């Protein structure tokens, strides 16, 4: 069945901004978000005959989009599956294998919420971008997309023990990055 051009055009006008807003909050890269939304509409045109009208078109489009986002992270994970982990975590430990603690006690400001501070958000995003792709995929699916651990394991085709190992290492690296790039600069220390 050929998609009704007027109906698809109405969907594009009505739902693009909502789909884009959702996507940019998940992938944090403008170009990727735009591509994912565009691919969502292309898939809707190709699969229009599968839309039975039992749900709202926006619901159906969001279901397609969520699959596109999951596929994006799955592809990123698979591309990075062969990155040696040793190189990524080597700087976190001393010559005796003990964890380095560059900033053992952080004084948090009581009057400022970190997630409301755009400078902190940019610093955090830089730290996330510095993680190996495999690790950032796990962290973003778990904490940014809000997926539970089992779903992350299914999406990325990893075992639960591998998930927890990646999560532990990613948290250590994020902690070190934030301590060096945010807290040592005195941004929140009073």
Could you tell me the domains of the chain? 5-79 (1.10.1740.10), 85-185 (1.10.10.10)
CB 94 within 8 A of CB 51: no
Report the sign of the C-alpha dihedral through residues 90, 93, 99, 102, in that order. Answer: negative
Report the sign of the C-alpha dihedral through residues 170, 173, 175, 178, in that order. Answer: negative
Report the sign of the C-alpha dihedral through residues 27, 161, 131, 185, in that order. Answer: positive
Distance between CA atoms of residues 111 and 113, nearest Å: 7
Residue whose C-alpha is closest to residue 182's, from 112, 88, 135: 112
Per the model's pLDDT, the better-predicted residue between 51 and 188 turns out to be: 51
For range 6-12, the mean pLDDT:
86
Does the pLDDT at position 81 exceed 50?
Answer: yes
Kindly tell me the burial class for residue 132, based on how many C-beta atoms sit within 10 Å of its own C-beta (0-12, 13-18, 19 or more): buried
> What pLDDT is attached to residue 105?
43
Assign 25 a pLDDT band (cuts: 50, 70, 90). Answer: confident
CB 144 within 8 A of CB 26: yes
> What pLDDT is attached to residue 40?
92
For range 30-56, the mean pLDDT:
87
Assign 15 a pLDDT band (cuts: 50, 70, 90). Answer: very high
Does the pLDDT at position 54 exceed 50?
Answer: yes
Largest CA distance in the chain: 67
> What pLDDT is attached to residue 143?
81
């Amino acid at each position: 069945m050929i998609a009704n051009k007027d109906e698809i055009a109405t969907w594009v006008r009505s739902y693009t901004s909502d789909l884009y807003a959702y996507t940019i909050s998940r992938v944090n890269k403008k170009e990727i978000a735009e591509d994912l939304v565009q691919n969502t509409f292309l898939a809707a045109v190709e699969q229009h005959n599968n839309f039975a009208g039992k749900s709202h078109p926006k619901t159906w489009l969001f279901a397609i989009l969520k699959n596109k986002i999951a596929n994006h992270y799955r592809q990123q994970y698979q591309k990075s599956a062969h990155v040696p982990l040793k190189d990524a975590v080597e700087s976190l430990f001393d010559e005796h294998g003990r964890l380095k603690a560059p900033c053992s006690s952080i004084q948090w400001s009581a009057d400022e919420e970190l997630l409301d501070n755009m400078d902190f958000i940019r610093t955090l995003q830089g730290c996330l971008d510095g993680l190996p792709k495999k690790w950032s995929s796990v962290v973003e699916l778990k904490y940014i997309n809000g997926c539970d651990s089992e779903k992350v394991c299914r999406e990325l085709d990893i075992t639960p023990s591998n998930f927890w190992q990646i999560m532990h290492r990613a948290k250590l690296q994020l902690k070190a990055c934030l301590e060096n790039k945010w807290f040592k600069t005195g941004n929140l220390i009073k």
